[in-house]
Amino acid sequence: MTATLSALKPRILTRPQIRLAPVAVTLLLSVVLIVGALRLSPPVTAGADLGDPSQRSYALNIWQETQTSLALLAVFLPWLVYGLLLRGSRWGGVILLALAAIGTVAGTWLTSLSLQSYAALPRLVEGVVARVDGRQLSLTDGPAVYLVISDAQLAADEPWLKPGASVTLWVSPRGHAGYVGRAAGSD
């Protein structure tokens, strides 16, 4: 009889398996940290000469890459804290902690690399475009670089950024081009 009555007990009176308040607070904290990361101004001095418009554009694009890395970190860090502070089911806690730890380590690593690129002195690279494949740009007799310019700028440059075009690039030590422009002698 007791088993029958417990089966009839309304679900409202049973203890929920998911702690809604801590999950909601952690989710809200993630959103706040992501918005904060995307609005954060650089905490370190740029390696680029901000008086030069092309280097200022480079620094802005590299900083946006850093903000993206910080936003990735902001996704995982609150969940790592949640997993460490609140104990749930054994396997659920292990899975949450493992994923949050991997994401936090990866986000910290990417943020560190991006900050180093932002603070480092960029190098000027000039050459002729050999190939453009999405954001990957290869120069003839030169390096292949990854373009970290905005989507709008990439779309605006698309008509002339083709094989055979002479370009000027400001490139980070990691091979990320934060600025691409036509070479001084080209049309």
Res. 2: pLDDT tops 80:
no
User: Domain 123-182's class?
Assistant: mainly beta
Res 144: pLDDT: 92
Q: What is the mean pLDDT of residues 144-157?
A: 92
* Listed residue (69, 61, 62, 60) closest to 111, CA to CA: 69
Residue with tokens 């999405």: 134
How many Å apart are CA 91 and CA 108, to the nearest integer?
25
**Distance (Å, whole) CA 48 – CA 62:** 10
* Tens digit of each residue's pLDDT (9 = 90 or more) over 34-49: 999 999 998 888 888 9
The pLDDT tens digits for 60-118 are 999 999 999 999 999 999 999 988 887 767 777 788 899 999 999 999 999 999 999 99
- Which pair of tokens denotes residue 100? 């949050």
pLDDT at 127: 92
Q: How far apart are CA 78 and CA 127, in angstroms?
A: 45
In this structure, are residues 173 and 120 in contact, taking their beta carbons and an 8 Å threshold? Answer: yes
Give residue 14's pLDDT. Answer: 47
Please tell me the predicted confidence (pLDDT) of residue 21: 83
Q: Give the chain's mean pLDDT.
A: 87
| pLDDT tens digits along 5-29 | 555 555 554 455 667 888 899 999 9
Q: Which long-range contacts (CB under 8 A, 24 or more apart) does 135-138 make?
A: 137/161, 137/167, 137/169, 137/177, 137/180
Query: For the chain, what are the domain ranges?
Result: 19-119, 123-182
Question: So what's the pLDDT on residue 69?
Answer: 93
The 3-class SS string of the chain reads CHHHHHHHCCHHHCCCCCCHHHHHHHHHHHHHHHHHHHHCCCCCCCCCCCCCHHHHHHHHHHHHHHHHHHHHHHHHHHHHHHHHHCCCCHHHHHHHHHHHHHHHHHHHHHHHHHHHHHHCCCEEEEEEEEEEECCEEEECCCCEEEECCCHHHHHHHCCCCCCCCEEEEEECCCCEEEEEEECCCCC
pLDDT > 70? residue 186: no
